[in-house]
Chains A and B, each alone.
Chain A
Amino acid sequence: MPPDDPSLWGLVARGGIGPGRLLHAAERSVPLTSLATRTSLGGSSLDLAGANVLLATKDQLPSALALIELDGLAHRLVLCPPDVPKEHIGPICAAAAIDAVVSDGRLEAADLPGDLPLVQCDPALPSPARRPEGPSCPTEWILLTSGTTGVPKLVVHSLASLTGPIRPGTAAGNTGGVWSTFYDIRRYGGLQVFLRAALGGGSLVLSSASENVADFLTRAGEAGVVSISGTPSHWRRALMSPAAGRIAPRYVRLSGEIADQAILDHLAVCYCPAPVGHAFATTEAGVAFEVNDGLAGFPASVLTRGGEVEMKIADGSLRIRSPRTAAGYLGPAAAPLRDADGFVDTGDIIEQRGERCYFAGRRGGIINVGGNKVHPEEVEAVINRHPAVRMSLVKARKNPFTGAVVAAEVVLRSAEEGAGDTLRAAILDACRRHLAPYKVPATIKFVDTLPVGAAGKLARADA
């Protein structure tokens, strides 16, 4: 391997691969050094040179190993999160022109379109490695968007765009030590932590879908976790666990949802004296900035401070131009990701109060319930089908457990309809029959009227 090998394996090796560097999964821990001589991909790794590869594993560890083995070798790596249904695999393979699928039993050959080869990935590293001899090639990293129904969008990144925000030696890029995250590493937030551990010379404790939060925290604590990240929803669940005290991190990080003052304060009390930082990042826009003053929102000066991340607010929402944003969406009918000037519209509405900016929700009123996106119109359509309902307005309601919940205001056809618990239960019942659980209103309030704008449309706050 050349000393300046820019592939992920080259970067891992430059951080030092002593025996103390481990990838910890619930079932096993793998020393990174063993990847120097062993492979998780059997005899197939070199066959994947120049190929477009879908990583569709049940567990995170096989994907982590395959990423290290295949970056710089494959042409394109598509990371398939665990909740992508099988019926979306075909369209994803087509959009990404996939040549081979790496799996650990999550998918069978019958699940794949055509006769795509299926490569088994075994984290026990059963085979001796066959390392490529030539220089590494730049690999495209494809992430899938989350929280929407239908086939996810394919977001094109590179190792350079993904590692752009990582600054080893800073609090958020702490060199060495043990990292962990509640996220799945096949999502942008989790992938950031995986790469920070990989580049920073550290180890990583992976979460597991089959493990409860107490067991995960206990395992992370036993591994000596120093830096740990999750969404506010992850953290609220962790704080409800008696095992919250099993970890003693030196840095606590939140991202992925709006961090309110209450969760920042709770974490600061629980993990004192560790600093509690929150970052703004999206799959498309990358990491834009980190806030480390312990306060919700961010200083308005962040918007004008310059540097490689440029930010502006246009039509109320935050726009970002930086080397960390994705290059675009993949696929035949993919919409452009950046505007003509190269800015990505995050869709997050910003409100400035004095010298501080706050997130005030999503453009178009899209509601984010614990990471799942809800379009108000879809819920209103179901409510409005109830014979007693004249009209309804669905909006986000702030919530300490999921960031937001769906709240509905309902106008009845006549006062005689009998607004009360029976009707409320009937409307909720109809919603539950037609909508995913997170889309069903948590609360229904009966009101006399709803504000209607000049164009005859429901007055919908943008947030």
Chain B
Amino acid sequence: MSVKSTIIAEFERVSREQGKVLNRLSDNTMLLDTGLDSLCFAIVVARLEDSLGFDPFQTAEDEKFPVTFGDFVKFYEHAAG
């Protein structure tokens, strides 16, 4: 599974578990408009660390924080090398 499809699957699973309505994810979707709240993002990032083996939020020191879903995917793809 690609990094992007792993991320999409996790967004879908966490939104379902937390009873949130996940909006359509495109590269331009603002993260704050996805329908997920801070707790959802916290869970997504913890689970992605388990499945992908890294957490770019802890390591990427000089990168801009992701704002769109596309940024978020690139943030992980970049960390995956």
Residue positions of A touching B, CB distance < 8 A? 212-214, 233, 236-237, 239-242, 244, 260-262, 265-266, 269-270, 369-370, 397-402, 405, 407, 428, 432, 437-438, 442-443, 445
Contact = CB atoms under 8 A, between A and B. Distances in A.
A338 B34 CA distance: 46
Contact of A443 (B31, B41, B50, B65): B50
Interface in B7-54: 17-18, 30-32, 38-39, 41-43, 45-47, 50
Chain B contact residues: helix, strand, loop or mixed: helix
B65 A401 contact: no
A434 to B, nearest CB: 15
A437 B39 contact: yes
Contact of A400 (B30, B45, B50, B64): B45
A369 B45 contact: no
A370 B65 contact: no
Given A400-B45, A432-B17, A269 B64 contact: yes
Contacts of B42: 369-370, 399-402, 405, 442
A293 B59 CA distance: 19
Contacts, number: 81
Contacts of B47: 442-443
A213 B32 contact: yes
The size bracket of the interface on B is 20 to 34
A204 to B, nearest CB: 24
B32 A212 contact: yes
Contacts of B60: 262
Nearest to A407: B46
Contacts of A212: 32
A402 B38 contact: yes
Nearest to B67: A242
Contacts of B18: 437
Most buried by A among B41, B42, B47: B42
B19 to A, nearest CB: 9
A410 to B, nearest CB: 14
Contacts of A397: 46
